[in-house]
Structure 1
Amino acid sequence: MFNKILIVCVGNICRSPTAEKLLHSALASSCIEVRSAGLAALQDHPLEPMASRLLEERGYTLLAHSARQLTRAAVSDADLVLVMEQRHIDGVLEVAPEARGKVFLLGKWQHDREIKDPYRQGRSAFIHAFALIEQATQAWASRLLS
Protein backbone atom coordinates (compact mmCIF):
# COMPACT_ATOMS: atom_id res chain seq x y z
CA MET A 1 0.00 0.00 0.00
CA PHE A 2 1.24 3.45 -0.87
CA ASN A 3 0.51 6.00 1.84
CA LYS A 4 2.88 8.77 0.77
CA ILE A 5 3.57 9.82 -2.81
CA LEU A 6 6.18 12.35 -3.86
CA ILE A 7 6.03 13.95 -7.31
CA VAL A 8 9.24 15.45 -8.69
CA CYS A 9 10.19 17.77 -11.55
CA VAL A 10 12.95 20.35 -11.84
CA GLY A 11 11.73 23.69 -10.47
CA ASN A 12 8.64 22.56 -8.51
CA ILE A 13 6.60 25.45 -9.89
CA CYS A 14 4.84 23.93 -12.96
CA ARG A 15 4.57 20.19 -13.53
CA SER A 16 5.04 18.59 -10.13
CA PRO A 17 2.69 20.93 -8.23
CA THR A 18 0.09 20.52 -10.99
CA ALA A 19 0.42 16.74 -10.75
CA GLU A 20 0.32 16.97 -6.96
CA LYS A 21 -2.99 18.85 -7.12
CA LEU A 22 -4.53 16.54 -9.74
CA LEU A 23 -3.43 13.32 -8.04
CA HIS A 24 -4.47 14.58 -4.61
CA SER A 25 -7.89 15.42 -6.02
CA ALA A 26 -8.20 12.03 -7.75
CA LEU A 27 -7.25 10.27 -4.49
CA ALA A 28 -9.53 12.40 -2.28
CA SER A 29 -11.47 9.33 -1.15
CA SER A 30 -8.28 7.77 0.27
CA CYS A 31 -5.80 8.64 3.00
CA ILE A 32 -2.91 8.81 0.54
CA GLU A 33 -0.73 11.89 1.04
CA VAL A 34 0.66 13.57 -2.08
CA ARG A 35 3.52 16.09 -2.05
CA SER A 36 5.92 17.53 -4.58
CA ALA A 37 9.50 18.78 -4.79
CA GLY A 38 12.08 19.86 -7.35
CA LEU A 39 15.53 18.61 -8.28
CA ALA A 40 16.63 22.24 -8.69
CA ALA A 41 13.68 23.91 -7.02
CA LEU A 42 13.03 27.61 -7.29
CA GLN A 43 12.71 27.48 -3.53
CA ASP A 44 9.83 29.40 -1.98
CA HIS A 45 8.50 30.48 -5.40
CA PRO A 46 4.74 30.21 -5.92
CA LEU A 47 3.06 28.17 -8.62
CA GLU A 48 3.90 29.49 -12.08
CA PRO A 49 1.05 31.86 -13.12
CA MET A 50 0.05 29.93 -16.27
CA ALA A 51 -0.03 26.63 -14.39
CA SER A 52 -2.13 28.30 -11.71
CA ARG A 53 -4.49 29.76 -14.30
CA LEU A 54 -5.06 26.39 -15.99
CA LEU A 55 -5.86 24.73 -12.68
CA GLU A 56 -8.32 27.50 -11.79
CA GLU A 57 -9.96 27.37 -15.24
CA ARG A 58 -10.57 23.66 -14.69
CA GLY A 59 -12.20 24.21 -11.31
CA TYR A 60 -9.39 23.28 -8.94
CA THR A 61 -9.17 25.23 -5.70
CA LEU A 62 -5.62 26.39 -5.19
CA LEU A 63 -3.84 26.58 -1.89
CA ALA A 64 -0.65 28.55 -1.50
CA HIS A 65 2.29 26.73 -3.06
CA SER A 66 5.89 27.27 -2.09
CA ALA A 67 8.47 25.39 -4.17
CA ARG A 68 10.68 23.07 -2.19
CA GLN A 69 13.95 21.34 -2.90
CA LEU A 70 14.08 17.57 -3.12
CA THR A 71 15.84 16.07 -0.11
CA ARG A 72 16.95 12.59 0.82
CA ALA A 73 14.51 12.71 3.75
CA ALA A 74 11.58 13.51 1.45
CA VAL A 75 12.48 10.60 -0.85
CA SER A 76 12.96 8.24 2.10
CA ASP A 77 9.61 9.28 3.55
CA ALA A 78 7.76 8.52 0.31
CA ASP A 79 6.46 5.09 -0.61
CA LEU A 80 6.31 6.03 -4.29
CA VAL A 81 8.20 8.73 -6.22
CA LEU A 82 6.82 9.87 -9.57
CA VAL A 83 8.89 11.96 -11.99
CA MET A 84 8.23 13.73 -15.28
CA GLU A 85 11.24 12.67 -17.37
CA GLN A 86 13.61 9.70 -17.48
CA ARG A 87 16.55 11.90 -16.46
CA HIS A 88 14.67 12.83 -13.27
CA ILE A 89 14.90 9.21 -12.14
CA ASP A 90 18.68 9.57 -12.22
CA GLY A 91 18.40 12.86 -10.33
CA VAL A 92 16.30 11.29 -7.58
CA LEU A 93 18.67 8.32 -7.30
CA GLU A 94 21.61 10.69 -7.04
CA VAL A 95 19.95 12.24 -3.97
CA ALA A 96 18.77 8.92 -2.53
CA PRO A 97 20.30 5.81 -4.17
CA GLU A 98 18.29 3.57 -1.87
CA ALA A 99 15.09 4.72 -3.63
CA ARG A 100 15.72 2.44 -6.60
CA GLY A 101 12.58 0.40 -7.13
CA LYS A 102 10.14 3.07 -6.00
CA VAL A 103 10.84 5.78 -8.60
CA PHE A 104 8.73 5.75 -11.78
CA LEU A 105 7.67 8.06 -14.55
CA LEU A 106 4.34 9.74 -13.95
CA GLY A 107 3.56 8.63 -17.51
CA LYS A 108 4.39 4.97 -16.75
CA TRP A 109 0.92 3.76 -17.74
CA GLN A 110 1.10 5.70 -21.03
CA HIS A 111 4.05 3.61 -22.30
CA ASP A 112 6.57 5.45 -20.07
CA ARG A 113 5.67 8.78 -21.62
CA GLU A 114 7.76 11.75 -20.55
CA ILE A 115 6.13 15.09 -19.77
CA LYS A 116 8.35 17.90 -20.99
CA ASP A 117 8.73 21.18 -19.12
CA PRO A 118 6.39 23.93 -20.36
CA TYR A 119 8.20 26.65 -18.39
CA ARG A 120 8.64 29.85 -20.45
CA GLN A 121 7.00 28.26 -23.51
CA GLY A 122 3.57 29.83 -23.59
CA ARG A 123 0.01 28.73 -22.99
CA SER A 124 -0.11 25.92 -25.59
CA ALA A 125 2.86 24.14 -23.97
CA PHE A 126 1.16 24.39 -20.58
CA ILE A 127 -2.12 23.07 -21.98
CA HIS A 128 -0.28 20.12 -23.53
CA ALA A 129 1.61 19.36 -20.30
CA PHE A 130 -1.59 19.69 -18.27
CA ALA A 131 -3.40 17.18 -20.52
CA LEU A 132 -0.56 14.66 -20.19
CA ILE A 133 -0.41 15.15 -16.41
CA GLU A 134 -4.18 14.73 -16.15
CA GLN A 135 -4.10 11.43 -18.11
CA ALA A 136 -1.17 10.14 -16.07
CA THR A 137 -2.61 11.06 -12.67
CA GLN A 138 -5.94 9.43 -13.55
CA ALA A 139 -4.12 6.25 -14.57
CA TRP A 140 -2.15 6.17 -11.32
CA ALA A 141 -5.25 6.95 -9.24
CA SER A 142 -7.22 4.09 -10.80
CA ARG A 143 -4.42 1.68 -9.96
CA LEU A 144 -3.82 3.03 -6.47
CA LEU A 145 -7.49 2.88 -5.56
CA SER A 146 -8.18 -0.61 -6.92
Structure 2
Amino acid sequence: MMNKILVVCVGNICRSPMAEYALRSRLDGIAIASAGLDALEGYAADPDAIRVSAEHGLDITPHRARRVNQALVNEAELILTMEVTHMRELMRRYPTSHGKVFRLGEAEDFDVPDPYRKPIERFHDSFGLIVRGVDVWTSRIKALA
Protein backbone atom coordinates (compact mmCIF):
# COMPACT_ATOMS: atom_id res chain seq x y z
CA MET A 1 0.00 0.00 0.00
CA MET A 2 1.23 3.47 -0.89
CA ASN A 3 1.47 5.84 2.08
CA LYS A 4 2.85 9.18 0.83
CA ILE A 5 2.41 11.10 -2.41
CA LEU A 6 4.00 14.45 -3.25
CA VAL A 7 2.63 16.73 -5.99
CA VAL A 8 5.03 19.29 -7.48
CA CYS A 9 4.82 22.40 -9.67
CA VAL A 10 6.80 25.66 -9.60
CA GLY A 11 5.12 28.06 -7.16
CA ASN A 12 2.86 25.67 -5.22
CA ILE A 13 -0.06 28.13 -5.33
CA CYS A 14 -2.08 27.00 -8.38
CA ARG A 15 -1.63 23.57 -9.95
CA SER A 16 -0.07 21.41 -7.25
CA PRO A 17 -2.51 22.47 -4.50
CA MET A 18 -5.47 21.81 -6.83
CA ALA A 19 -4.02 18.36 -7.63
CA GLU A 20 -3.18 17.67 -3.98
CA TYR A 21 -6.73 18.33 -2.82
CA ALA A 22 -8.25 16.44 -5.79
CA LEU A 23 -6.12 13.39 -4.90
CA ARG A 24 -7.00 13.72 -1.21
CA SER A 25 -10.71 13.70 -2.08
CA ARG A 26 -10.29 10.34 -3.85
CA LEU A 27 -7.61 8.52 -1.82
CA ASP A 28 -8.41 7.86 1.83
CA GLY A 29 -5.59 6.77 4.11
CA ILE A 30 -2.77 8.16 1.97
CA ALA A 31 -0.83 11.25 3.02
CA ILE A 32 -0.80 13.67 0.09
CA ALA A 33 1.27 16.84 0.12
CA SER A 34 2.39 19.39 -2.43
CA ALA A 35 5.38 21.65 -2.91
CA GLY A 36 6.96 23.92 -5.49
CA LEU A 37 10.39 23.91 -7.08
CA ASP A 38 10.65 27.66 -6.48
CA ALA A 39 7.79 28.27 -4.04
CA LEU A 40 7.64 31.29 -1.79
CA GLU A 41 7.08 29.71 1.62
CA GLY A 42 3.79 30.43 3.34
CA TYR A 43 1.87 31.97 0.43
CA ALA A 44 -1.83 31.12 0.17
CA ALA A 45 -3.25 29.45 -2.92
CA ASP A 46 -4.03 31.79 -5.82
CA PRO A 47 -7.55 33.28 -5.51
CA ASP A 48 -8.56 31.88 -8.93
CA ALA A 49 -7.26 28.41 -7.96
CA ILE A 50 -9.36 28.67 -4.79
CA ARG A 51 -12.42 29.76 -6.80
CA VAL A 52 -12.15 27.03 -9.47
CA SER A 53 -11.47 24.33 -6.85
CA ALA A 54 -14.49 25.47 -4.82
CA GLU A 55 -16.67 25.17 -7.94
CA HIS A 56 -15.69 21.49 -7.91
CA GLY A 57 -16.29 20.98 -4.20
CA LEU A 58 -12.68 21.33 -3.04
CA ASP A 59 -11.72 23.81 -0.32
CA ILE A 60 -8.03 24.60 -0.80
CA THR A 61 -8.06 27.73 1.38
CA PRO A 62 -5.97 26.09 4.17
CA HIS A 63 -3.10 25.52 1.71
CA ARG A 64 0.22 27.33 2.22
CA ALA A 65 3.05 27.13 -0.28
CA ARG A 66 6.28 25.37 0.52
CA ARG A 67 9.46 24.61 -1.35
CA VAL A 68 10.48 21.09 -2.32
CA ASN A 69 13.28 19.75 -0.14
CA GLN A 70 15.23 16.53 0.30
CA ALA A 71 13.08 15.36 3.22
CA LEU A 72 9.84 15.68 1.20
CA VAL A 73 11.44 13.85 -1.72
CA ASN A 74 12.74 11.07 0.55
CA GLU A 75 9.40 10.57 2.32
CA ALA A 76 7.32 10.36 -0.86
CA GLU A 77 6.75 7.01 -2.49
CA LEU A 78 5.30 8.68 -5.59
CA ILE A 79 6.01 12.20 -6.88
CA LEU A 80 3.70 13.67 -9.51
CA THR A 81 4.72 16.77 -11.47
CA MET A 82 2.67 19.06 -13.69
CA GLU A 83 5.18 19.23 -16.55
CA VAL A 84 7.99 17.14 -17.97
CA THR A 85 10.38 20.06 -17.24
CA HIS A 86 9.45 19.84 -13.52
CA MET A 87 10.20 16.12 -13.57
CA ARG A 88 13.64 16.68 -15.09
CA GLU A 89 14.48 19.53 -12.70
CA LEU A 90 13.38 17.51 -9.67
CA MET A 91 15.58 14.57 -10.71
CA ARG A 92 18.48 16.96 -11.39
CA ARG A 93 18.21 18.56 -7.94
CA TYR A 94 17.35 15.34 -6.09
CA PRO A 95 18.96 12.29 -7.72
CA THR A 96 17.31 10.05 -5.08
CA SER A 97 13.95 10.86 -6.71
CA HIS A 98 14.74 8.80 -9.83
CA GLY A 99 12.23 6.00 -10.34
CA LYS A 100 9.42 7.59 -8.37
CA VAL A 101 8.84 10.84 -10.30
CA PHE A 102 6.17 10.91 -13.00
CA ARG A 103 4.03 13.49 -14.72
CA LEU A 104 0.43 13.76 -13.60
CA GLY A 105 -0.48 13.47 -17.30
CA GLU A 106 1.98 10.61 -17.95
CA ALA A 107 -0.59 8.07 -19.17
CA GLU A 108 -2.09 10.43 -21.75
CA ASP A 109 1.16 12.31 -22.45
CA PHE A 110 0.12 15.81 -21.43
CA ASP A 111 1.52 18.64 -19.31
CA VAL A 112 -0.74 20.80 -17.15
CA PRO A 113 -0.02 24.41 -18.23
CA ASP A 114 0.54 27.07 -15.59
CA PRO A 115 -2.55 29.32 -15.29
CA TYR A 116 -0.83 31.82 -12.97
CA ARG A 117 -1.68 35.45 -13.82
CA LYS A 118 -3.81 34.32 -16.76
CA PRO A 119 -7.59 34.57 -17.27
CA ILE A 120 -9.77 32.32 -15.13
CA GLU A 121 -10.52 30.16 -18.19
CA ARG A 122 -6.90 28.95 -18.01
CA PHE A 123 -7.54 27.83 -14.42
CA HIS A 124 -10.60 25.89 -15.61
CA ASP A 125 -8.53 24.30 -18.40
CA SER A 126 -5.72 23.35 -16.03
CA PHE A 127 -8.18 22.00 -13.45
CA GLY A 128 -9.79 19.82 -16.12
CA LEU A 129 -6.40 18.34 -17.02
CA ILE A 130 -5.56 17.86 -13.35
CA VAL A 131 -8.76 15.88 -12.83
CA ARG A 132 -7.98 13.73 -15.89
CA GLY A 133 -4.54 12.93 -14.48
CA VAL A 134 -5.85 12.41 -10.95
CA ASP A 135 -8.50 9.97 -12.21
CA VAL A 136 -5.89 7.84 -13.98
CA TRP A 137 -3.46 7.84 -11.05
CA THR A 138 -6.25 7.16 -8.53
CA SER A 139 -7.31 4.00 -10.34
CA ARG A 140 -3.67 2.88 -10.67
CA ILE A 141 -3.00 3.48 -6.96
CA LYS A 142 -6.21 1.72 -5.88
CA ALA A 143 -5.33 -1.24 -8.13
CA LEU A 144 -2.01 -1.59 -6.27
CA ALA A 145 -3.69 -1.57 -2.86
Same fold (TM over 0.5): yes
Correspondence for 1:82:
80
Correspondence for 1:45:
43
Q: Secondary structure at the match of 2:24?
A: helix
**Counterpart of 2:34 in structure 1: which amino acid?**
S
**TM-score of the two chains, using structure 2 as the length reference:** 0.94
**TM-score of the two chains, using structure 1 as the length reference:** 0.94
Correspondence for 1:96:
94
Q: Secondary structure at the match of 1:145?
A: helix
- Name the CA shift for 1:4/1:56 in 2 (closer, same or farther; >3 Å): same
Gaps of 5+ in 1: none
Gaps of 5+ in 2: none
Q: Secondary structure at the match of 1:41?
A: coil
Correspondence for 1:124:
121
Asked whether 1:13 is paired with 2:10, we answer no
**Counterpart of 2:53 in structure 1: which amino acid?**
L
Q: Secondary structure at the match of 1:109?
A: coil
Q: Secondary structure at the match of 1:143?
A: helix
The CA deviation at 1:58 is 1.5
* Off by >3 Å, runs of 4+ in structure 1: none
Q: Percent identity?
A: 43
Residues 59-105 of structure 1 show CA distances to partners (whole Å, capped at 9, x for unaligned) of 22335111000001100110000001111012211221011110000
Q: Count residues in correspondence.
A: 143
